[in-house]
């Protein structure tokens, strides 16, 4: 696959992914609340409704950072998807250290969500921003352990090699602790459900409380784009990415991404969110040791 073809695939993958994610989200919500079905065009209607309204601002906001946060979040999601190999040796960003690049993306998400809450100059948004950093940093540590563990059997920090190393056995079986922990990171990166400490209901929408019109639509699209990017990364790291019989690699990748997307959305609608201090205790005292055990196990297996 040439670079141009890979880039086109990436953009199509992202756009269709966002659309499907929006529908899945509405579908889960309506199933659980006991309502009827969802129109497949409903995301477009919602986007048009947002875009038809004015973009309001607050008094003395940090306007530059406000726009940068929204655009940057979308850009980071795209970069995340770009390191995912669509086939053997084919990724838009094919570098030896693509897992580290994804780690950098994760940490930039914390920065951008913080900026999104900081910029509007509004107390509820600011509280959301501070809270998100408190949760976002330890969750990132957790994902580092998990990703290093996944890189160990491949003996490489290249996502392409990590996928290739799962030819015989997927990482989800080889490292059973990895995927569940990584999914928690996904909930946090996409500001969803039990890890939604930035845009939660107790802050009337948190960091996005002041967004209206195109800004609101942009932030929601960026969140969904991050969901697509994350799911594709998780599918490549744990479910063997493009590997699979008969069908072309890209189709397998799409199927696995779709499954993980549905799992993340389902978890976000089904699990309750605990107060932030309790969650911090859970992460530092319980989840981080488990992540460390995952890394230890992977290391022992690699040595054996």
In the window 14-53, what residues touch another protein (CB under 8 A)? Answer: 28-30, 32-36, 39, 41-42, 44-53
- 263 contacts another protein (rule: CB under 8 A): no
C-alpha distance from residue 98 to each of 10, 43, 83 (Å): 16, 32, 6
Binding status of residue 9 toward another protein by CB under 8 A: no
Q: Which is nearer to another protein, 269 or 290 (CB)?
A: 269
- Judged by DSSP in three states, 96 sits in coil
Residue from 200, 216, 253 nearest 56 by CA? 216
End-to-end CA distance of the chain: 37
Which window, 6-14, 97-105, 224-232, 295-303, contacts another protein (CB under 8 A)? 97-105
According to DSSP, residue 54 is labeled: -
User: What b/e sequence results for 277-295 when a residue is b if at least 16 CB atoms lie within 10 Å of its CB, and e otherwise?
Assistant: eebeeebeeebbeebeebb
Q: x/- binding map, residues 130-169, to another protein, per CB under 8 A?
A: xx-x---x--x----------------x------------
269 binds another protein (CB under 8 A): yes
Separation of alpha carbons 214 and 152, rounded Å: 43
Between 9 and 292, whose beta carbon lies closer to another protein?
292
CB of 86 to another protein, least distance (A): 21
- Binders of another protein in range 166-195 (CB under 8 A): 193-194
* Separation CA 127–CA 47 (nearest Å): 27
Distance in Å, CB of 254 to another protein, minimum: 27
Binder of another protein out of 96, 169, 296, 302 (CB under 8 A): 96
- Which pair of tokens denotes residue 177? 């602790």
């Amino acid at each position: 696959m040439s670079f141009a073809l890979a880039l086109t695939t990436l953009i199509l993958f992202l756009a269709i992914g966002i659309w499907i994610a929006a529908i899945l989200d509405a579908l889960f919500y309506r199933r659980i609340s006991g309502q009827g079905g969802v129109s497949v065009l409903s995301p477009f209607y919602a986007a048009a409704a947002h875009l038809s309204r004015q973009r309001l601002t607050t008094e003395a906001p940090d306007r530059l950072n406000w726009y940068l946060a929204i655009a940057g979040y979308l850009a980071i999601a795209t970069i995340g998807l770009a390191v995912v190999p669509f086939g053997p040796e084919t990724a838009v960003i094919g570098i030896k250290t693509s897992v580290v690049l994804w780690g950098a993306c994760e940490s930039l998400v914390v920065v951008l969500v913080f900026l999104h809450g900081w910029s509007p100059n509004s107390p509820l948004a600011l509280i959301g921003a501070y809270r998100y950093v408190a949760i976002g940093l330890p969750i990132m540590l957790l994902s580092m352990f998990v990703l290093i563990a996944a890189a160990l059997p491949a003996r490489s920090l290249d996502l392409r090699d990590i996928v290739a190393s799962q030819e015989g056995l997927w990482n989800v079986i080889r490292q059973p602790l990895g995927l569940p922990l990584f999914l928690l990171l996904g909930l946090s990166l996409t500001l969803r459900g039990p890890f939604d400490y930035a845009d939660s209901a107790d802050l009337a929408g948190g960091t996005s409380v002041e967004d209206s019109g195109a800004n609101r639509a942009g932030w929601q699209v960026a969140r969904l784009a991050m969901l697509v990017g994350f799911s594709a990364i998780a599918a490549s790291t744990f479910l063997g990415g493009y590997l699979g019989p008969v069908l072309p690699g890209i189709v397998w990748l799409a199927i696995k991404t779709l499954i993980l997307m549905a799992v993340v959305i389902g978890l976000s609608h089904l699990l309750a969110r605990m107060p932030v201090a309790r969650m911090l205790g859970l992460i530092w005292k319980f989840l981080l040791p488990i992540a460390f055990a995952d890394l230890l196990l992977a290391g022992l297996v690699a040595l054996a």
